[in-house]
Structure formats: structure tokens, C-alpha cells
Structure 1
Amino acid sequence: MDTRNGTRSSNQPQLRINVPSSARERAASVDPYGFERSEDFDYESYEELMSEYLAVLTRRSIKWSKLLQGKRRVDRNLRVKRFVRKGVPNEHRPLVWMESSGAQDRMERNPGYYHSLLDQQHDPKLVESIRTDLHRTFPDNVHFRRSADPCLQSALYNVLVAYGHHNKAVGYCQGMNFIAGYLIIISKDEETSFWLMEALLGRILPDYYGPAMLGLKADQEVLGELVRLKVPAVWRLMQDHGVMWSLVVSRWFICLFIDVLPVETVLRVWDCLFYEGSKILFRVALTLIRHHQDLILQAQNLPDVCERFKRITRGAFVHDCHAFMQAIFLDPGSLSKSTVAKLRESCRARIVAGES
């Protein structure tokens, strides 16, 4: 898509992004996904961590290749679930995400649908909203700069416009650009990114986006209820200082931890999100809060609480994505789908009653 005139070229080259993998390239000023590292980036600690994690990635890649054996299908069983929790190698992520989320089936049942959305007349208001956010999407990523070849702003525009026409009830709202951007970086394909986004926003996270954002609001309240049950001291602190959960965790849920946690950690969370569903978001949030409850409990006022909730998403605990993902399945304890479903129902009812 040429975003300047809104037309799609039928002979547009397939999107390709080179993702470096060597230790030398990983230590560069730009990470493997194109994000520039901050000036205070701790290269020494990162290299120490990656020297161990790269060995883990190599073992996982070999095991995944044996598991898939060249197949284009991903089974749903305890063995695959265990594999997903231990991490999906980048080369297999598009396939695993598409298969486990049902996006592959949806795409195969609707051949040509994505391109038909791009070929139709575009809603001017939708286009204006999307174009406004294009330059705000990952300004620290070299692939999203106009000078990049290819410039991923073009692919991002396509995916967002197509989704806006596909789901007119949602259209476009802020936060969706970051999700689409991550999907494009990993899948390296517009149509795949569109169908993964359709799975996320349509089935895995219903009602998260759009005017009412009822699902998003409810899940923030669900987290509050889970904290009350599992980390009661933090819940009491929030009550004492009158801090609404939406004030400190809305960005976690809206952006699915993008720009909140390190890239590798976010991708590991997304592996499980596509395979196991939205319950994973609560496990991540609860683990962050539970692991850092002593720090949070030192807060003396509302600004203190907000500052500590920002601080708990940084540091060694979240950078070691392998250890962090092990923690999210241990630290929060039991978290059944039925418990989450009941809490969602009650929180939704409370929100609707309060807004009526």
C-alpha cells in the first residue's frame, strides 16, 4: 500500500525483515527486532543473560523442529502446551500463533478476503485516524522509519485499514497500532498479521477495543479482585490510597505489555496468549505485583503507587524472560478459567450498572 494515495499495488513485494541472530549483532545499538537500545542499556548484563538464553533457544528450536516435522499443523495437547510455555522459536512463531489461535483456519476459509478489504473504498475518518498514529508507532524502531526499506508504516497502514473495515464496530483506536506493529515484525507478512489481529481482538480479547472498551474495563477490575484474593496487602494499599486499577495497569492490558516489558518477554507472553487465551494476562500481572509486593507496599501516596507500578516492569526479573515465564505459572497459584469467567461476569455487570 502506498499510504500517500491509499492505493494498493498488486505487485507489491513480499515484506521481508532481516532479524540478526549472532551474539555480535545482538550487542549492537539496535536489538534483533529493530528497536534502538537506550543510552543506559546494560550490555554486559545482557550478554551474560543471552549467552545462557541463546543455548536455551537453540535447544528449543531443535525440539520444535522435531515436533513439527515439517507439518503445517499444531496439535492441542499437554505436550505442545508445555512446549509453548517454554517458548516458541522465532522461525516457528507465525505458524504456531496462526494455528493455535484459529487464525489459520479462518484465513483458509476466507481466501482473498484480506485483499478485498484493501481494494474497497476506504472510510475517510478511519484513514485519517490511522494515518495520525502511523508516525507515533515505534519511533525507536528502525523498520518503522520512512527511510527504511521496506518501511513498515506501509504494511501497518494496510493491516489497520483492513481490520477497520472488517470490524466496523471497532474501527480503529489507539493501542491497535502497536499490536499490529508487533505482529508485522514477527510474521513478516501483512495477511498473516491481519488474521492474527482478528483472532486477538475478535475472540481472545473481545470488547477490549472500540468506544465502550467493556472487556478491557472489566479485566482491569478482575485483576483487582484477583489481587484481593492472592496479594491482599497490595489490595488494601490500593484501597487506602484510593488508587483505581485502571490508573496503573490500563497500559498493560491495552498494549498487551508492549513497551511495558522487554521485547523477548512480551513475545514469550504472546506465545501463551495465542495458545491458552487471555487468562495469561492475569498471570503476568499477578506475578509482577506478587513478586514486587514489598516494593509496592512502601508507597506513601498515590504518586508513589503509580511510580512503583512503573518500576516493577523493569529490571533483571523481567529481562530474564525464561525465568519470568516459569514464574507466571508458579507464583500466582491456581487460576482456573471458571474463576476468571465468574469474576468477569460480576465485574461487567458492576460496570454496566455504574454507567447506566
Structure 2
Amino acid sequence: MLSWILCQQIFALLQDCAVSEQPVLATRNPKKRVDPYGFERPEDFDYASYEAFFSRYLAVLTRRAIKWSKLLKGTNGIQKSLKVKRYIRKGIPNEHRALVWMIVSGAQANMEQNPGYYHRLLEGEKNDKLVEAIKTDMNRTFPDNVKFRKTADPCLQHTLYNVLVAYGHHNKAVGYCQGMNFIAGYLILITKKEEESFWLLDALIGRILPDYYSPAMMGLKTDQEVLGELVKMKVPAVADLMERHGVMWTLVVSRWFICLFIDILPIETVLRIWDCLFYEGSKIIFRVALTLIKQHQAFILEATNFPDICDKFKELTKGTFVTECHSFMQKIFTEPGSLSMATINKLRETCHEKLLSQG
């Protein structure tokens, strides 16, 4: 749980010192039980490590906030460019994150082109099976987050329910699939707005990750196979180990893909990944996965049997390497080496055909 929680306070704290150089650490209670995103810290939370990380990362956050404020000053528009790409890779301050995600993903344009559409979905006739499936997952969504509890005021369960019901009726081919509740929940925590969360969910499921959440989940299955092929190319010793012990990639990485690293990596690291995902597309997932595997190659190769391999993959998503989100994000663009969409798409075609032939 430590690696899940450790970064969660950072950007919310920055909002209080947006472009100020004033120190804030001394004025805060470092042992606050609930972080600004609403997640409860466990009893064994390592406050010393958190403070050490925060003190280093605050300088980075402050620099980024100043640069982003200048970039966005006087405009809500962002044109794709090498400069914007570089800025996004270095992290979007939380105060600007919702706006930037909306613009670069195309969600803002879709929302503006369809005024009132979201509310009409909520007011229209409902599919009872869809509604029941969503209701079943409400209490399972972030049980360690106080904002999603029924006792919260306001309770984000109601907002989450609305977003998922609207999306299920908007995209009938997908409807609702477990995993979507966590993604929508994250979007709500960042945007704090229902309609924006709906359109960002549509950008992810409808365009960035096509076929991940359809009933057959063919896109998800294909991309897991693609990762296996990329590991063969870039970390062949690990691929050989997996093959020798008959470990299918879906057993160790399916949650990475379907939950987009939610509940796998610390929240601030996940949000930094999503910054790039909304701008650069699905190849970011492969960069993250390959970096985790390549960085821990020696550790993985210590495994001597099937269960051992599965345990190793659980461990490699913990610890300081993933907690230090800024250095981690720098690594994902260097560690895997060259990784073009042309290569990924070619592998997708091959893997998709292979899956279809297997029936």
C-alpha cells in the first residue's frame, strides 16, 4: 500500500504555493491520515520517506507550475508541438491537468460540439442490466478513499454512477466493464466535474484504447500479446524465462493494461503516465511496462518457477523506483529505446490475427 499512497499529496499541496518559492513543508502536518485526493494512509505509512521525497520533488513542481502558467497565460488553446510534448512529459501541474487533458485528448472539442448531450443521456431511458452492474461496483470503488464513501458530503459515488451510466448508454458496444469504475473515479478526482470526466472517459475508451473494454476485449488481449513480442525484442532473457515456465503475459500484466496502472503504481506516478497517455496515445503503456521489466530484469530472472515469476511481477511495481515519479517518467523515454507507433501497429496486426486463429 505504501507505493500506492506515497506520492498522493504532492500536486494538491502545490496548489497552495502555485508559483511561490515559500517553503510549505514546515507549515503542514506531515502525519495527516488522509491525503488531498481522499485516500487513507495505512498504519505503516513511511512518513520519513515521504518527506524526503516531497522535499526533493517540490522544487520540480514549482518550476513546472511557473512554466505552465506562462504557457497557458491568456489562452485556453494548446497547439501540439515539440515544446508542449516536452512540457507534458515533464508533468502537468494539478491546477492545469484537467484543462490540458481535455484539450489534448480532443475531449474539450467533443464536449463543445455536443452541448447538452451528457445530460440528455442521464435523462433518457435506462438499461436495467447496465444500471444494476454499475450499482454493484459502487462500494467496491476505492474503499480506502473517504470521498467515495456513502457518508461523504458530497459523496462521489453519485457522480461516478452518473458518469458510468451515461457512458454505458453513449457507447452501447462497450456498456460497462469492471475496471472502468476506477478509471472514471480517477478522472472525477482530477477534474471534479461530471461532464468533463465523461468526455475524458470517452477519449480513453473510444479512441486511445479501442476495444479494451468491449465484451471480447480483443484490443486488450492483442496489446498484452504485443507486449510479449516487444519483450522478446528488447528483454529476450525475460521472454525466454516466461516461455520456459509457461507463464502467459495476461497473468502478470492484465491489470496494468485494463486499469491503466491504477492500484498498481503510486497515484502521482499514474497521473504523470496519464499526462502522456492523453497526448501521445497508447504506446505510453508499452513504454511503462517495458521500463518496469527492463529495470528489474535481474530480479525477474532470479525466479525459478511459475509462482515465483508471478510474485516477482507484483514486487517490481513497488519501491522507490516507481515512487520517484519524475525520474521514473524520464526513464520510460530512454530505457525501452526506440518504440514507434508503426512498430506497435504492425505487431498489433500480427497478434490480432494470431488470436483470431486461436478462436
TM-score range, shorter chain: over 0.9
Contact 1:26 1:32 in 2 (8 A): no
- The aligned residue for residue 182 of structure 2 is 178
Range with bigger deviation, 49-58 or 130-139: 49-58
Give 3-state SS (helix, strand or coil) of 1:209's partner. Answer: coil
- The aligned residue for residue 63 of structure 1 is 67
Q: Structure 2 residue aligned with 1:116, among 117, 120, 124?
A: 120
Give 3-state SS (helix, strand or coil) of 2:125's partner. Answer: coil
- The aligned residue for residue 38 of structure 1 is 42
**Quick one: which amino acid aligns to residue 344 of structure 1?**
R
Query: How far 1:70 sits from its partner (Å)?
Result: 3.0
- The aligned residue for residue 330 of structure 1 is 334
Distance 1:25 1:119, change over 3 A: farther
- The aligned residue for residue 82 of structure 2 is 78
Following superposition of structure 1 onto structure 2, how do residues 110-149 of structure 1 map, counting pairs within 5 Å? 110-149=114-153
Query: How far 1:210 sits from its partner (Å)?
Result: 2.0
1:105 aligns with 2:80: no
Query: How far 1:32 sits from its partner (Å)?
Result: 2.3
C-alpha separation in 2, matches of 1:82 and 1:35: 30
Q: Which runs of 5+ in 1 are unaligned?
A: 1-17
Contact 1:94 1:187 in 2 (8 A): yes
- The aligned residue for residue 47 of structure 1 is 51
Following superposition of structure 1 onto structure 2, how do residues 1-356 of structure 1 map, counting pairs within 5 Å? 19=12, 23=25, 24-25=28-29, 27-355=31-359
Using structure 1 for the length normalisation, give the TM-score.
Answer: 0.93
Query: How far 1:64 sits from its partner (Å)?
Result: 0.1
Query: How far 1:74 sits from its partner (Å)?
Result: 1.3
Contact 1:27 1:47 in 2 (8 A): no
**Quick one: which amino acid aligns to residue 134 of structure 1?**
M
Using structure 2 for the length normalisation, give the TM-score.
Answer: 0.93
Q: Which runs of 5+ in 2 are unaligned?
A: 1-10, 15-23
Query: How far 1:320 sits from its partner (Å)?
Result: 0.2
Q: CA RMSD in A?
A: 1.2
Range with bigger deviation, 306-315 or 33-42: 33-42
C-alpha separation in 1, matches of 2:30 and 2:111: 34
**Quick one: which amino acid aligns to residue 52 of structure 1?**
R
1:258-313 residue CA offsets vs partner (Å, 9 max, x unmatched): 00000000000000000000000000000000000111000111110000000000
Contact 2:30 2:47 in 1 (8 A): no
Contact 2:134 2:176 in 1 (8 A): yes
- Aligned pairs, number: 338
Contact 2:34 2:41 in 1 (8 A): yes
Contact 1:163 1:198 in 2 (8 A): yes
**Quick one: which amino acid aligns to residue 66 of structure 1?**
K
Contact 1:220 1:249 in 2 (8 A): yes
C-alpha separation in 2, matches of 1:93 and 1:84: 10
Q: Moved runs in structure 1, 4+ residues, more than 2 A?
A: 18-27
1:121-141 residue CA offsets vs partner (Å, 9 max, x unmatched): 111100000000000000000
Query: How far 1:243 sits from its partner (Å)?
Result: 0.2
Query: How far 1:20 sits from its partner (Å)?
Result: 5.0
Query: How far 1:42 sits from its partner (Å)?
Result: 1.1
1:190-234 residue CA offsets vs partner (Å, 9 max, x unmatched): 000000000000000000002100000000000000000000000
Query: How far 1:27 sits from its partner (Å)?
Result: 4.1
C-alpha separation in 2, matches of 1:131 and 1:101: 28
**Quick one: which amino acid aligns to residue 261 of structure 1?**
L
Identity %: 69
C-alpha separation in 2, matches of 1:352 and 1:162: 32
1:91-114 residue CA offsets vs partner (Å, 9 max, x unmatched): 101111000000111111000000
